């Protein structure tokens, strides 16, 4: 892949979840590649809500391609039905090139992936490993700032991926004529780390002590319930952590190199860059 190749045909790209960890970066990467970006979210200028199908048509109309990041998770209850309905509407409106963000090893994501494949779209599924940015933004950051990460990952190994690499892959596979149409692309970082290792690297880069405290998925679910997370969502997350964090993802994937012709960003570089920006200052 070369820069000129990704810019051979400019498109209007709908980005769902454009305020999220991957959507924001997909929007930035698509703009950098010369595309017109329609950044859609529940609170943005382009209104889009997975739970409100009345918002879909206006977001889709006139777009050439779309990035699908289902909230809160691609394996959540109802994701398959929503992704299928959205994809069929996209095809009906002439938006045939669709890329779905999925997760490696997540059996719960199969309904959404299958719905996309059966929609008639020119599809690509990007299955990603655990985002490095889950430790620098979002719900887990509060604990990191307080000095510890309490999480049900035990000592399993995970090849944390930088969300910017996911975005670069998405923008490349979205373009017309991509060799990755009709394919599942698995992406990961270049190195296996436990969550304890990852927190230790962040702690060293930030120059302050941050501890990793492993707990069981059920204990973590109980804490979520105490914080007011709805029972259905809590039960889904417990099941997800019990399965997806059982060691099944302790391997590297070559999707970044295969699609982009370069190696994925290393977690150590991510940690140093974000520490220098003051992300984990107490």
Prediction pTM value = 0.94
Q: Measuring CA to CA, which residue among 251, 214, 28 is closest to residue 130? A: 251
Q: Is the pLDDT of residue 2 over 60?
A: no
Contact (Cβ atoms closer than 8 angstroms) between residue 168 and residue 99: no
- List, as one string, the DSSP characters of 248-280: TT-S--BHHHHHHSSPPPPHHHHHHHHHHTTTT
In a domain, 204, yes or no: no
In a domain, 158, yes or no: no
Contact (Cβ atoms closer than 8 angstroms) between residue 153 and residue 248: no
User: Which CATH number is 84's domain given?
Assistant: 3.40.50.720
Domain count, the chain: 1
Provide the pLDDT for residue 177: 87
Neighbour-count burial of 278, counting CB atoms closer than 10 A to its CB (0-12 exposed, 13-18 middle, 19+ buried): exposed
Give the whole-angstrom CA distance, residue 161 versus residue 189.
4
Provide the pLDDT for residue 282: 83
In a domain, 193, yes or no: no
Q: Is the pLDDT of residue 7 over 90?
A: no
In a domain, 207, yes or no: no
Helices vs strands, H then E, count in the chain: 12, 11
pLDDT digits (tens, 9 = 90+) for 58-117: 999 999 999 999 999 999 999 999 999 999 999 999 999 999 999 999 999 999 999 999
Alpha helices in 50-109 (DSSP H): 56-60, 79-92
User: In terms of DSSP bridges, do strands 157-158 and 193-194 run parallel, antiparallel, or are they unpaired?
Assistant: antiparallel
Q: Establish how many alpha carbons lie within 13 A of residue 262's alpha carbon, considering only the half-sphere containing its beta carbon.
A: 12
pLDDT band, residue 3 (cuts 50/70/90): very low
In a domain, 278, yes or no: no
User: In terms of DSSP bridges, do strands 122-128 and 148-151 run parallel, antiparallel, or are they unpaired?
Assistant: unpaired
Q: Is the pLDDT of residue 210 over 80?
A: yes
Mean pLDDT of the chain: 95
Provide the pLDDT for residue 8: 53
Q: Is the pLDDT of residue 35 over 80?
A: yes
Q: What is the mean pLDDT of residues 111-136?
A: 98
pLDDT digits (tens, 9 = 90+) for 151-165: 999 999 999 999 999
Q: Say how far residue 64 (Cα) sits from the centre of its chain.
A: 21
Q: What is the mean pLDDT of residues 252-258?
A: 98
H or E segment to which residue 27 belongs: helix 23-32
H or E segment to which residue 167 belongs: helix 163-174
Provide the pLDDT for residue 1: 41
Give the whole-angstrom CA distance, residue 117 versus residue 99.
11
Which domain covers residue 117, as residue numbers? 3-128+163-188+250-264
Whether the ω angle into residue 72 lies within 30 degrees of 0, i.e. cis, is yes
In a domain, 138, yes or no: no
pLDDT band, residue 57 (cuts 50/70/90): very high
In a domain, 87, yes or no: yes
Q: What is the DSSP code (8-state) at residue 135? A: G
H or E segment to which residue 199 belongs: helix 195-206
Q: What is the mean pLDDT of residues 229-252?
A: 95
**Percent of the residues in the chain that have a pLDDT greater than 90, as a whole number:** 94
Give the whole-angstrom CA distance, residue 83 versus residue 113.
8
Q: What is the mean pLDDT of residues 207-218?
A: 98
Give the whole-angstrom CA distance, residue 263 versus residue 277.
24
Provide the pLDDT for residue 9: 80
User: In terms of DSSP bridges, do strands 97-103 and 46-47 run parallel, antiparallel, or are they unpaired?
Assistant: unpaired
In a domain, 200, yes or no: no
Q: Measuring CA to CA, which residue among 50, 126, 60, 143 is closest to residue 95? A: 60
H or E segment to which residue 216 belongs: none
Contact (Cβ atoms closer than 8 angstroms) between residue 12 and residue 34: no
């Amino acid at each position: 892949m070369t820069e000129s190749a990704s810019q051979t045909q400019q498109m209007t790209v709908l980005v769902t979840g454009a305020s999220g960890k991957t959507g924001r970066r997909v929007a930035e990467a698509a703009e950098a590649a010369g595309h017109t970006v329609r950044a859609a979210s529940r609170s943005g200028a382009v209104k889009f809500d997975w739970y409100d199908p009345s918002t879909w048509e206006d977001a889709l109309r006139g777009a050439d391609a779309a990035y699908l990041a289902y909230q809160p998770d691609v394996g959540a209850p109802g994701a398959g039905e929503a992704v299928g309905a959205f994809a069929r509407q996209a095809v009906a409106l002439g938006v045939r090139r669709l890329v779905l963000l999925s997760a490696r090893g997540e059996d719960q994501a199969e309904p959404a992936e299958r719905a996309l494949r059966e929609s008639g779209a020119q599809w690509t599924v990007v299955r990603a490993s655990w985002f490095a940015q889950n430790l620098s933004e979002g719900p887990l950051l509060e604990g990191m700032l307080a000095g510890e990460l309490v999480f049900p990952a035990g000592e399993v190994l995970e090849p944390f991926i930088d969300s910017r690499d996911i975005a670069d892959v998405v923008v490349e596979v979205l373009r017309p004529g991509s060799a990755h149409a009709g394919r599942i692309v698995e992406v990961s970082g270049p190195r296996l780390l436990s969550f304890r290792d990852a927190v230790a690297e962040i702690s060293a880069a930030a120059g302050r002590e941050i501890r990793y405290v492993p707990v069981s998925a059920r204990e973590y679910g109980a804490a979520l319930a105490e914080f007011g997370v709805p029972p259905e969502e809590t039960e889904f997350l417990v099941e997800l952590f019990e399965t997806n964090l059982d060691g099944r993802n302790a391997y590297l994937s070559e999707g970044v190199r295969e699609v982009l012709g370069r190696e994925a960003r290393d977690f150590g570089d991510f940690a140093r860059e974000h520490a220098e920006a003051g992300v984990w200052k107490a």
